[in-house]
Amino acid sequence: MLSMQLKIYKDYQSLSEAAANEIVSLIKHKPAAVLCLASGDTPRLTCKLFATKAKQENLDLSQITFIGLDEWVNIPPDNEGSCHYFFQHEIFEPLQFSPGQVHLFDALSTDLNNECRKMDGLIFDKGGIDLMIVGIGMNGHIGFNEPGVSFDNYSHVAELDNTTTSVGQKYFKAAMTLQQGITLGLKHLQEAKKVLLIANAAKKAEVIQKTVEGDVTPSFPASIMQQHNNGYVMADEEAAGLLTAKNK
Ligand code: F6R
């Protein structure tokens, strides 16, 4: 029996509404929450809706700790394809987060291992991640936890696989050399108090089927979700399209 739960939504809009509502209700319940989000196409609407709702409801965001899931190594923060740029424009600027409350990997650092240890230390000091919202790559990656990764890793630098380097081009205006990523590890995901893996569109149907119904194996990192006892796979109907009826 799976400990993870599956939730299917009519479309991308209702999926994103539900994910944004999760962030809002966490902050209402715990104003000093530790929140970790992925960037990318999938969470974009979640972030926009969260920003809108937070403003409408006049939420106090001053005590939140915000952690970025990952970053492309060697890509500067002002590049529009970077995770920094995404969060800056979708969350930090609209909601006027203060620099002291946001923690993103410095992917230009000459000591990336130190970046990893700093991030791990911060998460431990804050008492762990309350809510993590992640996407899924076309190779089953979460963050930059690529196929073959250890489930026991905390933050680390990853060599990106070919799927990630080619699919990743979609975020950049010009062709980009992408070789490494710096990322939270799957141990962080396992220890997070709540995890939402969100996916939309038919192109994600195969990876969602493997995530929910495949073997739990490092060769398909997102399968770790099956073992999270407060983990939710949230898919729109298209992304859930290949699941067997019993899971729908
Ligand atoms: C980005 C990240 C990646 C993406 C994944 C899906 O911060 O962690 O793992 O979540 O590649 O990307 P999209 O949502 O663009 O399909």
- Could you report the per-residue pLDDT of 21-41, keeping only the tens digit for each? 999 999 999 999 999 999 999
Cα-to-centroid distance, 49 and ligand 1 (Å): 18
Q: Whose CA is nearest to atom 11 of ligand 1?
A: 137
Atom of ligand 1 nearest to the CA of 183: 8
**Which residues, including other chains, have CB under 8 Å from residue 237's CB and lie 6 or more apart?**
8, 9, 10, 11
Question: Residue 247: is its pLDDT beyond 90?
Answer: no
The answer to whether 21 is a known catalytic residue is no
The answer to whether 70 is a known catalytic residue is yes
Diameter over CA atoms, the chain: 50
How far apart are alpha carbons 42 and 200 in whole angstroms? 7
Burial readout 70-92 (b: 16 or more C-beta within 10 A, e: otherwise): bbbbebeeebebbbbbbbbebbb
Mean pLDDT, the chain, rounded, equals 97
Give, for ligand 1, the residue of 37, 44, 70 to mutate: max count of ligand atoms closer than 8 Å to Cβ.
Answer: 70
What is the percent of the chain with per-residue pLDDT over 90, rounded to a whole number? 97
State the pLDDT confidence band at 75, using cuts at 50, 70 and 90: very high
Cα-to-centroid distance, 40 and ligand 1 (Å): 5
Atom of ligand 1 nearest to the CA of 168: 11
Rounded CA Rg of the chain: 17
- Could you report the per-residue pLDDT of 44-54, keeping only the tens digit for each? 999 999 999 99
**Strand order across the beta sheet in which 195-199 lies:** 5-9, 231-236, 195-199, 131-134, 34-37, 65-68, 102-103
Average pLDDT over residues 207-211: 98
The answer to whether 139 is a known catalytic residue is yes
Cα-to-centroid distance, 214 and ligand 1 (Å): 20
Q: Whose CA is nearest to atom 12 of ligand 1?
A: 40
Average pLDDT over residues 152-159: 98
State the pLDDT confidence band at 67, using cuts at 50, 70 and 90: very high
How far apart are alpha carbons 109 and 88 in whole angstroms? 19
The answer to whether 93 is a known catalytic residue is no
Residue type at 2?
A: L
Give, for ligand 1, the residue of 75, 134, 171 to mutate: max count of ligand atoms closer than 8 Å to Cβ.
Answer: 134
User: Could you tell me the two tokens for 167?
Assistant: 């699919």
Cα-to-centroid distance, 237 and ligand 1 (Å): 19
Pick the more confident residue, 3 or 94. 94
User: Could you tell me the two tokens for 74?
Assistant: 């060697």
Sign of CA dihedral 217, 229, 8, 12: negative
CB atoms within 10 A of CB 24: 16
pLDDT at position 2, please?
52
Q: Whose CA is nearest to atom 3 of ligand 1?
A: 143
- Could you report the per-residue pLDDT of 173-195, keeping only the tens digit for each? 999 999 999 999 999 999 999 99
pLDDT at position 3, please?
81
With 0-12 / 13-18 / 19 or more C-beta atoms within 10 angstroms meaning exposed / middle / buried, residue 190 is: middle
Sign of CA dihedral 233, 234, 239, 245: positive
CB atoms within 10 A of CB 151: 17
Question: Residue 1: is its pLDDT beyond 60?
Answer: no
State the pLDDT confidence band at 248, using cuts at 50, 70 and 90: confident
Cα-to-centroid distance, 41 and ligand 1 (Å): 7
Would the pTM of this model clear 0.75, i.e. be above it?
A: yes
Average pLDDT over residues 190-205: 98
**Which residues, including other chains, have CB under 8 Å from residue 129's CB and lie 6 or more apart?**
34, 35, 36, 67, 123, 188, 191, 192, 193
| Ligand 1 residue neighbourhood (C-beta within 6 Å) | 38-42, 69-70, 83, 134-137, 141-143
pLDDT at position 10, please?
98
- Could you report the per-residue pLDDT of 218-246, keeping only the tens digit for each? 999 999 999 999 999 999 999 999 999 77
